[in-house]
Amino acid sequence: MQDYHFPEITLLITHYNRSKSLERLLTSFSELKIYFKEIIVSDDCSKIEHQVYIKIIQQKNQFIYITSPINKGLGNNINKGQEIASAPYTLYVQEDFIPSADFGIHLKNAYDILEKESKFDMARFYAYSKYPYLKSYKDGFAEMKFSIWKLGYKKFYYYSDHPHLRRSNFLNKFGKYAEGENPEKTEYLMMFSFLQKKGKGLFFENYQQLFTQVNTSIEPSTMKRTKWRESSNIPIVLLKHFYRHIKFNLDYLKNSF
């Protein structure tokens, strides 16, 4: 298996109460022989048993470990990790993902594109669904195309907290992540900041090939959603889509002029 060394990339992992998942992710990168300038594990005041286990993991995996005396939410957790990244690029991954066997070559391709094309701010590796407006670029990546005049509200799903490579000056260009908000609101606000400040990104077209998201009964997802968001009731689904279409467009427009 080929080794992949990325001295220009910091691996930033955000963590909360899933230390076994963190261990699995770190082991996966090691087994794939993917190496970074540094690895930062940013913890959001996990339970003491997880903090203890992280220090055990740290004995066999070299990484920088930072935590918080109180739980401050996802926004603060990303901010404090990104602020200490010393490489010019950051690979951001939450702890419940596993990279695929061929991730190394695609990470290299994404890095090479960002090095060559300064107009791109990030390259996305994973999504729940395909971004609706894409222009094929190269090496399996496509350029995401956004315009307020394009149809549908899913055009706004341009930025995502899912695994992606970005320039480490991200906070300087797009602002810090909102703190004191729930994770969905934090991601939503960054999504609009990215668009309003004219960010540009790439999207890997086979968007579920490079990472698998794994939540177990022992370490389930920490994301909690309201029941109406998860409902499959047709009237509720239609109402949800209509609400998002109106809200997303208004939220974008009110802060763009």
Give the pLDDT score at 74.
Answer: 96
Contacting residues for 255 by C-beta, under 8 A, at least 6 apart: 192, 196
Give the pLDDT score at 12.
Answer: 98
Task: Using only the alpha carbons of the chain, give its radius of gyration.
Answer: 18
Tell me if 45 sits within 8 A of 14, measured CB to CB.
no
End-to-end CA distance of the chain: 51
User: Any idea where the domains of the chain sit in the sequence?
Assistant: 4-223, 225-257
pLDDT in single tens digits along all 257 residues of the chain: 799 999 999 999 999 999 999 999 999 999 999 999 999 999 999 999 999 999 999 999 999 999 999 999 999 999 999 999 999 999 999 999 999 999 999 999 999 999 999 999 999 999 999 999 999 999 999 999 999 999 999 999 999 999 999 999 999 999 999 999 999 999 999 999 999 999 999 999 999 999 999 987 666 666 655 554 556 666 666 677 778 878 898 888 876 64
Give the pLDDT score at 257.
Answer: 47
- Report how far residue 115's alpha carbon sits from residue 122's, in angstroms, rounded to the nearest whole number: 11
Q: What is the pTM for the complete model shown?
A: 0.92
Both structure tokens of 190:
């960054």
- Report how far residue 128's alpha carbon sits from residue 137's, in angstroms, rounded to the nearest whole number: 21
Q: Which CATH class is domain 4-223?
A: alpha beta
Residue spans of beta strands (DSSP E) within 16-167: 34-43, 64-66, 89-94, 97-99, 122-124, 134-138, 141-144, 164-167
Give the DSSP letter of residue 33.
T
> What are the angstrom distances between the C-alpha of 125 and each of 43, 48, 96, 148, 255?
23, 32, 15, 24, 28
